[in-house]
Structure 1
């Protein structure tokens, strides 16, 4: 059986001394894969490449076993949430419905999806509020509602909790985990926070210097590092925990 999402031999030079090279990456439907690594290792570059915002010089990306017919067909099946919410200077409602309207969905369907996700993420009372007046946590909830309303085949999350305070981050963790259980949305999350990756990912990947160097169930990866470099990274990220290479 073929994976729901699969990447093979993705190659993207970004600087004289840095290249993203992902030999193989796959996700099953409903899986949450958390990629963790230090700043500058290529996590965001990976997501931008998977979102077709950056164009790899080679590589193959398949959804449900098929190569997308074109960029537009592929982009219509994914949604990307960045660390900065990047909301438009208009109402929360207009931000959440933007992608739905752009895709030409009927008005009743746009309303149904927007109302559902505003309610589900606890921001329905902000529907007519200016998006630029929101707190960081509220803005990120709007960004997530906008993405989830698209009902994407693949949700890409680029450090969406990094700028939030601890209580806000914890509430979003809880809500997002419940949403994943309910919707089975296939998700790729990148983060520099090892504990966040462990908590949210059904599978954990370690990225160093543009390559995914280890992948597995979170506790398996944390129990046995694949080599000295991974062990050193894990120890630096979680100094109170012992890691065995």
Structure 2
């Protein structure tokens, strides 16, 4: 039989014991003493407790990072390179809204087929804030891609935005293909992976690339020329 009364316990025999689950906290002007159960008391300087309480929230705030395009502070901000006839708001200099016109929001030429006889058999026409100055601060742009048979767009990334690609017309392995890409930035930028890996300056050590791609060193040397 086992009986439990208060904090004392007995386990069917002469053996008995006492269990104390009471937590004790003593304070003075400079220290905080804590005692849990039958453990030895632990004393902490009060300054340590205060520092911990202040530093931890600051560490959480330091982890918050934001990165984004300039926010639109007005309906539109037509980009202009001449600061004498414009007002700087954010992003690029803004043309006086009274001087904005339809051509600031217009681009022509996407309907013209581009040359696809080059090495990668594709041509990309970007349409961002450099081509349509009215896109400044609007966080959107597009690209037009013409693909020839077996054409491709080399692997790449856009450091300032994400991309969605829509194929408008396709004739697999037979004729040209047209696609439009929508991007979530007025100037998404582009980084071609092959150029970064094999054409970097200074070059990446060939021993590293040989092991990474599991090819012979002479192949890496050829690609880095």
What TM-score range do you get, normalising by the shorter chain? under 0.3
Structure richer in helix, relative to its length: 1
TM-score calculated relative to the size of structure 2: 0.24
> Considering only CA atoms, is the larger Rg found in Structure 1 or Structure 2?
2
TM-score calculated relative to the size of structure 1: 0.23
Structure richer in strand, relative to its length: 2
